[in-house]
Chain A
Amino acid sequence: MSDVALSPAVPAEPLIDPRKSFADVNQDVSAPLERKPGMLWKVCFGITALLTLQFFMEIGYQMYKGIGIWGLNHPVGWAVDITSFVFWIGIGHAGTLISAILHLFRQRWRTAINRSAEAMTIFAVMTAGLFPLIHLGRTWFAYWLVPYPNWRFLWVNFRSPLIWDVFAVTTYLTISICFWYTGLIPDFASLRDRSTGWRRAIYGVLSLGWRGSERHWQHYERAYMMLAGLSTPLVLSVHSVVSFDFATSLLPGWHTTIFPPYFVAGAIFSGFAMVVTLLVILRKVFHMEEYVTLQHLENMNKIILVTGMMVGYAYATEFFVALYSGNPFERFTFLNRARGPFAWSYWIMVTCNVVVPQIFWFKKLRRSLPVMFVVSILVNVGMWFERFTIIVTSLHRDFLPPNWSYYKPTIFDYSVIVGSFGFFFMWFLLFCRFFPAISMAEVKSVLWSAKKSAAREAPRAQEPAHVS
């Protein structure tokens, strides 16, 4: 990690109060893990656990009965399941962006938020991974997607984007877990060294016996850098591959070359919105306002603003190309999106994703917690409807008018949507209780830089304020 003074993006205000000591960091981050869970946590956990339960009951019933219990019909064969799959995979992207890409660009403000963002990635990918499985219908044959030697002597078709998806998503989940765990090792050691009894034993095993030796840090830092370097192209490839599911088909509205960058920008956009939603709550409930500062949230809101405009630009390009190409099917599909029976979904998407984030041009609103909380939720509503618009409106009126139909979700569709949110938040709540939500080791290196620059600015001080 380079010296902060060399970084071109040093924010005007310190990322952390230089008067804090290293021991304060451990104390503040570990405190929520060491006290009994509060009532609020228990109630939230209860609700999300119940939602998860109904989610799996729905999945069980749907496996028994068939995917016809959803509102699917003849032209609309993909709806809430694939929409949610793309939505949740997209949520995950911000976590990898924060942990890997910002690490490579030496953006040190990431240190306070990368742990929770990476946790979010893993839980989002876990949630997303359920959807392709359940939408298979015959979920018990899901292992056919894996190329393994079998008595049918058949291999999977490696030319199919659906198989690319299997490889991309499983790799993404595995590497995200590796990256996250690597970051957690020193922090588990910190927790081990401050606890006793069974907690000490568990955190001791999780830390693998990390000692903090410089010979080990030397390997650690290089390995972390390598994992960041691998994750960066990986995260770009995952949503590109997801977009290939659509782009390689021949359906108007799907068959476009703009899809990979458009999907990646949208994924980062929605993912950052989810990070803001989660962190606004997390910092309040666990009293981490001094670590996850307004500066951090403002930086993320700037990224939301930029990626929101990239997404808006993609909407415009898509529409323009559809009109300009002279392809009547393409033109019809896009006019149908904006004026057809699903126009409500299209305009929710445009309002939430393009119009709403524009208020982040104002510094005051960018730094206002209630404003950013509402905007971040609206952005995710908009991004869910973006995927819904792309999938359902392209399908519901295909080439032959006698095929046309309208898609109406049933109670089971709603159950899946709500259930997936419950599943995701349940894991996140468990994470906040048992794992350090902020990377203590990384924050300490930022803290030392903050102490040094504070000492430089106060020339009368004899030496840097080191507090033990």
Chain B
Amino acid sequence: MFLDRFRKQPPARAVLALYDDPDRLLNAAALAKEHGLEGIDAFTPYPVHGLSEALGIKKSWVPYVTLVMGLSGAALGLTFEIWTSAFDWPINVGGKPYVSLPAFIPVMFECGVLLGGTMTLAALILACGLPNLKSPILDRNFTNDRFGLYVPEYGPGWNEERILRILNRTGAVDVKVIRV
């Protein structure tokens, strides 16, 4: 697909630690960060509070899309209203001015919300690399009751034994190495 070109290739190796408790996952994430592991991700059944801070994930850029698209939608809506009512075919309706600004506000607002909202969903889908039906599901219980910490191979500094040693101390239910 077209979008695949912009997606990161999955790593050849990764370490996956499984937990049954979000607090242990949080501690493990903080520990992994302390030890300087890079590119860590976590899998959780619900958004765990404070996890993205613990993993050092940057704040999402989706709200900027909402803002820009919302304002563009409103601007486009208003421009279109003015163009049709005052320029393309000006019609005198009840003696009102061609550019009846107060009367144009509701449609302008709705256009802003429409574009802002639909583009927020589109941005979310794009940001998460969805639809993604191909990449493997690492554990079926990540959408149920299992929490996972995922350390993919990030380069020459990647040391499997060291990562296993760190994660084995975090109270995980299981720590395993995944090879593609």
Question: Which chain B residues in 138-166 approach chain A with CB under 8 Å?
Answer: 138, 140-146, 150
B11 → A minimal CB distance (Å): 14
Given A163, A194, A223, A445, which contacts B144 in the complex, CB threshold below 8 Å? A194
Question: How many B residues, CB 8 Å from partner?
Answer: 70
Whether A23 touches B21, Cβ cut-off 8 Å, given contacts A182-B124, A211-B43, is no
- Contact indicator A230/B66 (Cβ below 8 Å): yes
- Contact indicator A468/B145 (Cβ below 8 Å): yes
Residues of B within 8 A of A440 (CB): 45
B177 lies within 8 A of chain A by Cβ: no
B143 → A minimal CB distance (Å): 4
- Contact indicator B46/A23 (Cβ below 8 Å): no
Which residues from chain B sit less than 8 Å from chain A, CB to CB?
20-23, 41-49, 51-52, 55, 57, 59-60, 62-63, 66, 70, 80-81, 84-85, 88-89, 91, 93-94, 96, 100, 103-104, 106-107, 109-111, 113-114, 116-118, 120-121, 123-125, 127-128, 130-135, 137-138, 140-146, 150, 173
Whether A174 touches B114, Cβ cut-off 8 Å, given contacts A222-B63, A468-B145, is yes
Residues of B within 8 A of A233 (CB): 109, 113
Whether A193 touches B120, Cβ cut-off 8 Å, given contacts A159-B103, A214-B41, A222-B63, is no
A453 lies within 8 A of chain B by Cβ: no
- Contact indicator A209/B132 (Cβ below 8 Å): yes
Whether A218 touches B121, Cβ cut-off 8 Å, given contacts A155-B89, A468-B145, is no
Residues of B within 8 A of A1 (CB): 47, 49
B160 → A minimal CB distance (Å): 21
- Interface-located stretch among A71-79, A119-127, A164-172, A313-321: A164-172
A448 lies within 8 A of chain B by Cβ: yes
A181 lies within 8 A of chain B by Cβ: yes
Residues of B within 8 A of A193 (CB): 137, 140-144
Given A161, A178, A190, which contacts B118 in the complex, CB threshold below 8 Å? A178
Given B85, B124, B125, B143, which contacts A158 in the complex, CB threshold below 8 Å? B85
- Contact indicator A210/B44 (Cβ below 8 Å): no
A215 lies within 8 A of chain B by Cβ: yes
A400 lies within 8 A of chain B by Cβ: no
- Contact indicator B66/A226 (Cβ below 8 Å): yes
- Contact indicator B113/A214 (Cβ below 8 Å): no
Give CA–CA (A204, B93) in the complex, Å. Answer: 53
Residue-wise interface mask of A (53-76) relative to B, using a CB-CB cutoff of 8 A (1 in contact, 0 not): 000000000000000000000000
Question: How many A residues, CB 8 Å from partner?
Answer: 73
- Contact indicator A155/B85 (Cβ below 8 Å): yes
Given A211, A220, A237, which contacts B47 in the complex, CB threshold below 8 Å? A220
Whether A168 touches B106, Cβ cut-off 8 Å, given contacts A1-B49, A155-B89, is yes
Residues of B within 8 A of A130 (CB): none
The binding surface of chain A is classed by DSSP as helix
- Contact indicator B121/A209 (Cβ below 8 Å): no
Given A164, A204, A213, which contacts B43 in the complex, CB threshold below 8 Å? A213
- Contact indicator A147/B62 (Cβ below 8 Å): no
A327 lies within 8 A of chain B by Cβ: no
Give CA–CA (A32, B176) in the complex, Å. Answer: 35
A-B contact pairs, 22 of them (CB 8 A): A1-B49, A22-B144, A158-B104, A164-B107, A167-B106, A168-B110, A170-B114, A178-B120, A190-B144, A193-B140, A210-B143, A215-B128, A216-B128, A217-B47, A219-B62, A222-B63, A241-B106, A441-B46, A448-B46, A464-B21, A468-B20, A468-B145
Which residues from chain A sit less than 8 Å from chain B, CB to CB?
1-3, 21-23, 26, 147, 153-159, 161, 163-164, 167-168, 170-171, 174-175, 178-179, 181-182, 185-186, 189-190, 192-194, 204-205, 208-223, 225-227, 229-231, 233-234, 237, 241, 244, 440-442, 444-445, 448, 464, 466, 468
Residues of A within 8 A of B80 (CB): 147
In the complex, which of the residues A204, A205, A219, A227 has the most CB atoms of chain B within 10 Å of its own CB atom?
A: A219
Whether A214 touches B133, Cβ cut-off 8 Å, given contacts A153-B89, A155-B89, A174-B118, is no
Residues of A within 8 A of B134 (CB): 209
Residues of B within 8 A of A189 (CB): 143
**Considering only CB atoms, which chain A residue lies closest to B20 in the complex?**
A468
Whether A167 touches B111, Cβ cut-off 8 Å, given contacts A213-B42, A220-B47, is yes
B8 → A minimal CB distance (Å): 11
- Contact indicator B44/A217 (Cβ below 8 Å): yes
A-B pairs, 8 with minimum CB distance: A22-B145, A209-B132, A155-B84, A468-B20, A223-B124, A208-B130, A222-B60, A214-B42
Whether A211 touches B49, Cβ cut-off 8 Å, given contacts A218-B57, A219-B62, is no
- Contact indicator B121/A181 (Cβ below 8 Å): yes
